[in-house]
Amino acid sequence: GEDVEQSLFLSVREGDSSVINCTYTDSSSTYLYWYKQEPGAGLQLLTYIFSNMDMKQDQRLTVLLNKKDKHLSLRIADTQTGDSAIYFCAESTSGTYKYIFGTGTRLKVLA
Amino acid sequence: DAMVIQNPRYQVTQFGKPVTLSCSQTLNHNVMYWYQQKSSQAPKLLFHYYDKDFNNEADTPDNFQSRRPNTSFCFLDIRSPGLGDAAMYLCATSRDLGAGGPSNEQFFGPGTRLTVL
């Protein structure tokens, strides 16, 4: 079945860039998402990318998609302590309701 | 602001005592979802409603039920909570199932953390 994988932890220093990686198996994925979850809170959509795009930039966030390798990454420039959270990638297919979530990457930003 | 609201944010119940969690939305979205998220895990879809059409995931236990009396509200009923049901329960909405839509984007509420004693 479909699977989405992420590394569990990432630690960076404040002001550095963070890169969170995600791999997926479903070649029919149409949309890929990045969500942020702060402690005790729900999921907040950060950005998404269509599968026919290679890159999307939104202020400090850059999403790169390598469709051939089924690899998605989220780069956060100038990482701040407020970026400390769990980041989930998810994929879905047009016309379906279901998201397949990754296991989440816990980002810790050191001051 | 249009949003997804969950009440209560924290719920404590006793083993075996029925509990109901509620979700409301001001987005006027067709689809509402309930997810269960255990510590350090990805959210797991329990079921969803497309308008009044209920869709259960195959591995959702019978102990979990849902009601959607109107577009704005959706309830999660846990008939006999066990210790293993302690988790964060997330409600989400989307405009439709994506046919012709741009993104399938789901909007999440803040969650209800359920503790079972």
> Which residue in chain A has the smallest CA separation from B103?
A31
What is the rounded CA–CA span in Å between residue B111 and residue B36?
Answer: 9
- Which whole-number Å values give the CA distances from B93 to B5, B29, B87, in the listed order? 11, 6, 20
Q: Is the peptide bond before B8 cis (omega within 30 degrees of 0)?
A: yes
User: Do residue B31 and residue A97 have CB atoms under 8 angstroms apart?
Assistant: yes
**Percent of residues, chain B, with pLDDT higher than 90:** 78
**Model confidence at A109: pLDDT above 70:** yes
Q: Nearest by CB to B104, from A31, A41, A42: name it.
A: A31
Written as one letter, the residue type at B68 is R
- The more confident residue out of B76 and B1 is B76
Model pLDDT for residues B2-53, shown as the tens digit of each residue: 699 999 999 999 999 999 999 999 999 999 999 999 988 889 999 999 899 9
What does the mean pLDDT of chain A come to?
Answer: 91
**DSSP codes, chain B:** ---EEEE-SEEEE-TT--EEEEEEESS--SEEEEEEE-TTS--EEEEEEETTEEEE-TT--TTEEEE-SSSSEEEEEESS--GGG-EEEEEEEESSSSTT-S----EE---EEEEE-
Burial class (CB in 10 A: 0-12, 13-18, 19+), B49: buried
Chain A to chain B, count of Cβ pairs less than 8 Å apart? Answer: 63
- Which whole-number Å values give the CA distances from A89 to B4, B52, B61, B66, B83, in the listed order? 21, 29, 26, 27, 29
The Cα of B110 is separated from the nearest Cα of chain A by a number of Å equal to 4
What is the rounded CA–CA span in Å between residue A59 and residue A38?
Answer: 20
**Percent of residues, chain A, with pLDDT higher than 90:** 65
**Model confidence at B100: pLDDT above 50:** no
What is the rounded CA–CA span in Å between residue A22 and residue A27?
Answer: 14
Is A41 part of the contact surface with chain B (CB cutoff 8 Å)? yes
**Model confidence at B98: pLDDT above 60:** no
Q: Nearest by CB to B110, from A41, A92, A104: name it.
A: A41
User: Do residue B109 and residue A42 have CB atoms under 8 angstroms apart?
Assistant: yes
**Model confidence at B103: pLDDT above 90:** no
Contacts of B94 in chain A (CB under 8 A): 97
Over residues B101-108, mean pLDDT = 71
Question: End-to-end distance of chain A based on CA atoms, in angstroms?
Answer: 41
**Model confidence at B99: pLDDT above 60:** no
**3-class SS of residue A81:** helix
- The more confident residue out of B1 and A39 is A39
- The more confident residue out of A3 and B82 is B82
What pLDDT is stored for residue B74 in this prediction? 97
pLDDT tier, B101 (very low <50, low <70, confident <90, very high otherwise): very low
What is the rounded CA–CA span in Å between residue B27 and residue B82?
Answer: 33
Span of A70-79, A88-97, B60-69, B99-108 with lowest mean pLDDT: B99-108
